[in-house]
Structures are given as C-alpha cells and as structure tokens.
Structure 1
Amino acid sequence: MIIDPYKVEAIIAEIAEEEISSRFGVLKDSDVSTKSGPNDFVTAADQAAEERLERALKDLYPAASFIGEEAAAEDPELVNRLEHERGAFWIVDPLDGTRNFVQKREEFGSIVALIENGETRQGWIYAIPEKAFATGSLGDGVTWQNEQLGPVSKTGDVPVGYRSIGSLAPQWQDKLVPALRDKFETGPARCSAYAYINLVQGLRDFALYSRVHPWDHAAGVMMLNELGGRVAYLDDLSPYRPQMTVGRPLLGAGNTSNWERIRAALS
C-alpha cells in the first residue's frame, strides 16, 4: 500500500510545530531526562510528539502497527516484531537529534517510515528548523522540498562523510578507525535525519554507522536505494534491513560506485 505522501507530511509538520518547535530553547529541567546513558536524552517534546504521531498515523492506516523510538526504549521487544512478524508497521523517530535539541543546536528532525512485510515502502525525513521534507516512495523516487532528486554524483578525490562508530566491535575499530582517519574527511553523525538529507542531495558522500536503530535508518536507506545508492554491512555485504544491530559496520552511499570505492579503501 502507498499512502498519500502529502497527508503524512502535513501530519508530521503540524505535530512538529506544536510539540517540538514550540519547546525549542525553552525546555525546563523537568522536561529532560536520560535513557541508556548521560547523553541519551529524552524530552517532553519527544514523548508528546510520539503520542500524537501514533494516533494520527494509525488513523491514516489502521492496519499498520506502530513502533516508536520512545515506546521501544520502554519495551525493547517491540523492535523484534520487525524480524518475526509480517504486515505493516509505522516506524517513527519523533525527534531525531534530541541532544542537539536540548543543547539548542538547530539540527534535529522527525523521521517516519512505512514498512510492509519487511520492505520499506515509504519514508519521510523532516528537517524541523528548515521546515523542509525529504520524501520517498518505493518506485517513485525521492523529493527534497517537493523537487525531484536525480542520481547522486561520484565522489571527489577525497570522499567526505559521516561517522558514528563508537559501538563498533573491537576488530572493526582496529581496522576502520585508521582508514577513516587517513583516507577520508569525516565528521560525527549527530543527527541521522540531517545525515540522510545531505546524502540524498549529494552534499556528503557516505556515512558509516555502528549502532543501527530502524527508526533512524529505514526511511533514509530506502531513499538512497531509490536514487541508485547502496547501504550494506561491511562484515558480510548483506543489504540493510529494518532491524536493530550493534557492533557491525553499516556503510551507506548515494551512488553504488562511491560505495564500492569507499568499501575498498576501508578494507
């Protein structure tokens, strides 16, 4: 099933404005807490936005189950449903880049994906400060601010990318960290929403991740694939699937030639 992408955009934008933008820069101490560690923030904005997105998206497609980042933090077994159950799922990160949001950095967004029988059918990435969408539907390509995007160009002499490698297994740390330092220009991936927005526009060449949550990646991976790119694990070259992995290196690029060139340099 393909949902009207503009209806979903309208839902995301309205909720982001009312629950997230309205709180930016004015959070109270009581509005902020942590989950897995001192830098893993959750705020009143995350929670309120997720609750409203769940209601609105279920109304739009009642047959689809809902898996949100905050609900999964409370019940990690929710993520396992993606591997073991068929059917449709809304996968939602209501506020990606929460640490940026808390620290008043204007780089945060909302990410929504619609998955059916293990395949990402549609994705929406909303850059909240810019009020701008990257939107993709399987077989229909990708738009940025309602303009159709074309294939991503090849890299220059020195590929430029993002890294989020703090959770790599030790054998991959030893192998990949020196290669990233010596052969590429990289910066930290502080917000998956902005990383994928820049990848689909060709503003960055690649991203390398080590802790992969479906709500951070399903929408963006589908968009890169629609543009002729590739996202796959370096340990066995298997393509990305909407699931949770930790320790394995996941490499994404908007151009298959770029992906192969970067993989070869890393190995």
Structure 2
Amino acid sequence: MTETLPQPITPLSPAQQTSLINLIRRAAKTEILPRFRNLSAAQVNTKSGPHDLVTEADTAAEAMIARGILRMFPTAMVLGEEAAAENPALRAKAAKAELAFIIDPVDGTWNFAHGLPLFGVILAATRFGRPVFGLLYDAIMDDWIVADDATPTTIAGANSAPRPLSVSAGGALADISGYIHLYLLPKDKQAAMAATLPDFARTMMLRCSCHEYRTIAQGGAEFCLSGILNPWDHAAGVLICQKAGGFVQMLDGRPYETSITEGYLLAAPDQETWEKLRDRFAFLTEPN
C-alpha cells in the first residue's frame, strides 16, 4: 500500500507563519503561563466528564488567538476546541472551509490543571479539511515545531535557529515504543488492546497530543494510535510527522482529513512499520 497525498497547496508565507508563531507565544505569555500552578478551584471546570477539564487559561488563550488570526486572515474560518464544545456544528463547517485555523489553546489541560509542565499549544491551518500548516508549541521551553505542505518539519526556539527533524528508523514491534490511548478506546476493545502491550518495547500516554507528536517527530517514539479524532489534537501533528518523514493514515487506509470523526488514526515512522502496527491492531476494525 502506498500513501498517495495530494499535490502541495501554496502554503502560508514565511512572514505569515512567523506572525502566527509570535501570536501563539504572546498568548502563552499573557494568558497561559501566569495561570500555571496559580488556578483556583473556580477557574477549573469539566466538559464531557470529570477528566475532561477546561480552565480559564484555555478560554482566555483561545479568545486571544482567534482574535489575532482573524485580524490576519479576516475571511478564514477559526475553530477552537472550546468554541466547538459550545457549538459542535463548527467542526463540520471548518472541515469544508477553503481556509480554516484550528486551535487547541492548552493541549494537555489535565496536566496543566494539576501542575504538570507537560502541555502545549497546537495550531493547524487546513484547506478543505486537509492540513497545510502545523505548529506544536511548548510554552514552558518557548520552542516550536512547525511544518507546512511544501517544506520539511523544523524545530526552533527563542534562542535557537530552525533545524530539521526526522522520525526514527522504525523496526520490529518488540523494539519500538509508542502512545496508545487505552482508556479512550471503546470499552469492548480495551482488553484486547491491553493484551498487545507486551508486544512493544514500551507504551505510554502523555495526556498531551502536542508532546506525543513532538516526540515522534524528533525520533523519540515510533507510533501513536488514537481513537478520538478531534481535529485540534491531530491536524497539526499529522502534517508535522509526515513532513518529518513519517507515515500517517487512518487504520483502514484512508488519508487523514478533519472531516473524519470515527475510526482509528495511526502514526508511524515509515510505511513498513505502519503496516506491522496495522496488522497487530486489525482487531479494532473487526466486528465484535
């Protein structure tokens, strides 16, 4: 099976990308970091359940980023995680938009709310549901990983010039590590998934897609399997892993697009490793 990707679409200009990076950095400095380890109980709420948190930092940062994007791109569609929680119809609208920006203002909110410095900001630009720009920002270290549809993945920071990134070399299942979101899978699949864990060198879950995709793009882990397909978690990371040399598709072989709401997304360092993982996880797509 060969992954067939559409031809590159004209990406955002370097100046536009720099403006977006600076916007994210300002939002982190203004709305996120001052609230880290400084939240009152009244500033933390739940959404879909007790482990799905939203804080004052999420809502304030999303509002600031959305305003900034619309000043730069007044005709673009903006989809924020918190806005989508209030109006789920926005997700389908963004998937059809000629240009949409998708924001996860504090990815890893559970970590953030519990004082763990493992969170980030995710920003993606999509055209008709296909990622064409991705940004994974580490607010603690003030560095960012970016890719667009026409150039490779790079990492840069406040005091460091951009340098290219590359995924790992892959390998046998027993030699690779990755992220499996076990407790986010359907209950009737969790026992079968748990039985696969000894097949790998190590599996984990960071509760932060930003840092999971960052680690894969830097070669520190080989794969990520996700069954929750929120575009604010994945659109940027999929493109960043692909442009770092990785192979990312839905488990059933479809290319990833933000219009897809059901299924399993699998990122791997190369097609051969992806196919080994697909075969091991095939039970996920089989009827019970």
Deviation at 1:108, TM superposition (A): 0.4
Report what 2:89 is aligned to.
77
Matched, 1:128 2:139: yes
Report what 1:203 is aligned to.
220
Matched, 1:98 2:109: yes
CA distance in 2, matches of 1:183, 1:194: 20
2:233 to 204, 216, 220: 216
Deviation at 1:18, TM superposition (A): 0.9
Matched, 1:227 2:244: yes
CA distance in 1, matches of 2:50, 2:97: 36
CA distance in 1, matches of 2:237, 2:205: 17
1:128 alignment partner AA: A
Matched, 1:265 2:280: yes
Identity rate of aligned residues, in percent? Answer: 33
1:212 alignment partner AA: L
Deviation at 1:151, TM superposition (A): 5.1
After superposition, the C-alpha distances for 1:15-57 in whole angstroms (9 at most, x for unaligned) are 1111000111111111111111111111110000000000101
CA distance in 1, matches of 2:152, 2:261: 27
Instruction: Give ranges in structure 2 of 5+ residues lacking alignment.
Output: 1-10, 157-161, 283-288
After superposition, the C-alpha distances for 1:156-212 in whole angstroms (9 at most, x for unaligned) are 652100111323345643543312343452011310000010010010010111111
CA distance in 2, matches of 1:29, 1:171: 34
Report what 1:7 is aligned to.
19
After superposition, the C-alpha distances for 1:42-84 in whole angstroms (9 at most, x for unaligned) are 111000000000010111111211000000000111111134x
The farther-off stretch of 171-180 and 252-261 is: 171-180
Report what 1:182 is aligned to.
199
Q: What SS class does the counterpart of residue 216 from structure 1 fall into?
A: helix
1:241 to 241, 245, 257: 257
Number of residue-to-residue matches in the alignment: 264
After superposition, the C-alpha distances for 1:99-152 in whole angstroms (9 at most, x for unaligned) are 100100000000000111222110111011111100111111111122122454
Retained in 1: the 8 A contact 2:248–2:256?
yes
Compared CA separation, residues 243 and 41, structure 1 to 2 (3 A):
same
The farther-off stretch of 87-96 and 154-163 is: 154-163
Report what 2:6 is aligned to.
none
Retained in 1: the 8 A contact 2:129–2:258?
yes
1:65 alignment partner AA: M
CA distance in 1, matches of 2:227, 2:171: 22
Report what 1:117 is aligned to.
128
2:139 alignment partner AA: I
Q: What SS class does the counterpart of residue 166 from structure 1 fall into?
A: helix
1:253 to 268, 276, 288: 268
Compared CA separation, residues 183 and 198, structure 1 to 2 (3 A):
closer
The farther-off stretch of 14-23 and 167-176 is: 167-176
Deviation at 1:154, TM superposition (A): 2.3
CA distance in 1, matches of 2:203, 2:166: 24
- With structure 1 as the length reference, what TM-score do the two structures score? 0.92
Retained in 1: the 8 A contact 2:79–2:94?
no
Compared CA separation, residues 244 and 65, structure 1 to 2 (3 A):
same
Report what 1:141 is aligned to.
152
Compared CA separation, residues 151 and 43, structure 1 to 2 (3 A):
closer
1:63 alignment partner AA: T
Q: What SS class does the counterpart of residue 175 from structure 2 fall into?
A: coil
1:98 alignment partner AA: T
Q: What SS class does the counterpart of residue 228 from structure 1 fall into?
A: coil
Matched, 1:44 2:44: no
Post-superposition, which runs of at least 4 consecutive aligned residues in structure 1 deviate over 6 A? none
Retained in 2: the 8 A contact 1:212–1:243?
no
The farther-off stretch of 170-179 and 99-108 is: 170-179
Matched, 1:153 2:163: no
Deviation at 1:252, TM superposition (A): 0.8
Retained in 2: the 8 A contact 1:172–1:249?
no
1:47 alignment partner AA: T
Matched, 1:28 2:43: no
